[in-house]
Amino acid sequence: MIKGISYLGLVSQILWILDFGSQALGFHLSGIADYIYLEGFTYTNEVSIGVHMIVPVTVFLFGVSVKPTYKSLIFAFPYIVFLYVATILFTPSSEDINCIFLGCGNTKYLPYNIFLWPLYATVSTLIAYGIHLLFYYGWSKVKACFRHPSSSTFR
């Protein structure tokens, strides 16, 4: 269940991290992290930075050694629906929580309206699942090389 939920946030959090870093280097990728630089490094923003940079990557790194299954995706899809409905019903559109209302500034890259968010969230989840597959099978090969010192890697 945790892997499925983490799939939804992984790609968007990586994009947030890249945008945050690009602004530190003096250019903008998308503007998703603009609020950090506009509002300054307040306590709330520091918590936001920590959540965006640490949590998804940590969950992914702890889960990368566990074989991804389609069951993980089954948990992701109800979470997408829950997040979408809860955000629309309980948050103001001006805050653009979860980038549902305005796309968090990504409209210059993708056509966007509020009804496309579930599609984008699903695609993001599938991409994250693919990344997990690549890392899992890549990690398996690395472990196999270290497990067998007689392999051609060590000759």
pLDDT in tens, 97-155: 777 887 776 666 667 778 888 998 999 899 989 988 888 888 767 666 666 555 555 44
- What count of other Cβ atoms lies within 10 Å of the Cβ of residue 124? 20
Classify residue 15: in a domain, yes or no.
Answer: yes
**pLDDT per residue over 58-86, tens digit each?**
877 777 778 888 888 888 899 899 999 99
Classify residue 88: in a domain, yes or no.
Answer: yes
The conformation of residue 36, written as its DSSP 8-state character, comes to H
Write down the pLDDT at residue 40.
67
3's tokens:
């892997």
Classify residue 144: in a domain, yes or no.
Answer: no
Nearest-angstrom CA–CA distance, 4 and 77? 8
Q: What are phi and psi of 30, to 5 degrees?
A: -140, -25
Classify residue 103: in a domain, yes or no.
Answer: yes
Classify residue 154: in a domain, yes or no.
Answer: no
Write down the pLDDT at residue 106.
63
Classify residue 58: in a domain, yes or no.
Answer: yes
Nearest-angstrom CA–CA distance, 37 and 125? 28
In this structure, which amino acid lies at residue 100?
Answer: I
pLDDT greater than 90 at residue 29: no
Split into its structural domains, the chain has a count of 1
Classify residue 146: in a domain, yes or no.
Answer: no
Classify residue 112: in a domain, yes or no.
Answer: yes
Write down the pLDDT at residue 127.
92
Which residues span the domain enclosing 133? Answer: 2-137
pTM above 0.75, yes or no: no
